């Protein structure tokens, strides 16, 4: 596969929902971790790799939460956790991307969840753009991770068996518009 060359103008990429997932991990009882994911992430990414700038606009369907356990998933949709009836989406917006050369390495943005907006930094641990082998369009992929505190978003009425720290992992593929 060919690595796509850096361009001198901003380019927009649309998140490929079928190949992009937001995962999370929380400690449980101090002895293990519970992992889950959101099955529906949409949005767009604008990159100007030559100028070292860009933006991210992502929207997560909170009701698409999945932990592999139906009863837990239903509980996570209630008012005690994601309250999907009142807050159906989680958003992340960043206008401050960090580059090393023309490689994206981080983003400082704002996460809105449960009606609360807080700053969240994402470290991009993998970033690469190629020409898609089937449709011949440019596609970029990234793996991002960060940590947030449940209480920062008002998620305080939940069980004490769940850790305060929530680790997030985001795998994104986005096609050039």
Half-sphere exposure for 137 (CA within 13 Å, toward CB): 14
Instruction: Supply the pLDDT for residue 1.
Output: 43
Average pLDDT over every residue of 133-159: 91
Query: Contact at 8 Å (CB) between 59 and 36?
Result: no
Each residue of 8-54: pLDDT tens digit? 689 999 999 999 999 999 999 999 999 999 999 999 999 998 899 99
Strand partners for 44: 14, 57
Angstrom CA distances, 163 to 13, 26, 28, 46, 89, stand at 35, 6, 6, 34, 23
> For residue 31, what are its two tokens?
């002895």
Each residue of 55-102: pLDDT tens digit? 999 999 999 999 999 999 999 999 989 999 999 999 999 999 999 988
Query: Contact at 8 Å (CB) between 148 and 154?
Result: no
- Segment (H or E) for 80: none
Q: How confident is the model at residue 155 (pLDDT cuts 50, 70, 90)?
A: confident
Nearest to 140 by CA among 176, 177, 92: 176
Instruction: Supply the pLDDT for residue 8.
Output: 65
Query: Contact at 8 Å (CB) between 104 and 127?
Result: yes
What is the 3-state composition of the chain as percent helix, strand, coil, each rounded to the nearest 5? Answer: 10, 60, 30
DSSP-derived letter for residue 146 is E
Neighbours of 81 (CB within 10 A): 19
State the chain's mean pLDDT as an integer: 92
Q: Percent of the chain at pLDDT above 90?
A: 85
């Amino acid at each position: 596969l060919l690595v796509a060359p850096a361009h001198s103008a901003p380019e927009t990429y649309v998140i490929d929902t079928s190949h992009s997932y937001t995962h999370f991990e929380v400690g449980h009882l101090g002895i293990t971790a519970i992992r889950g994911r959101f099955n529906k992430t949409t949005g767009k990414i604008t990159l100007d790799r030559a100028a070292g700038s860009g933006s991210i606009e992502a929207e997560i369907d909170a009701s698409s939460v999945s932990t592999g356990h139906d009863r837990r998933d239903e509980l996570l949709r209630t008012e005690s956790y994601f309250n999907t009836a009142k807050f159906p989406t989680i958003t992340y917006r960043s206008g401050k991307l960090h580059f090393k050369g023309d490689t994206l390495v981080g983003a400082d943005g704002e996460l809105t969840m449960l009606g609360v907006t807080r700053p969240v930094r994402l470290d991009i641990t993998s970033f690469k753009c190629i020409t898609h082998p089937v449709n011949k369009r440019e596609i970029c992929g990234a793996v991002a991770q960060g940590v947030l505190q449940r209480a920062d978003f008002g998620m305080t009425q939940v069980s004490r068996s769940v850790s305060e720290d929530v680790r997030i992992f985001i795998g994104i593929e986005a096609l050039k518009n």
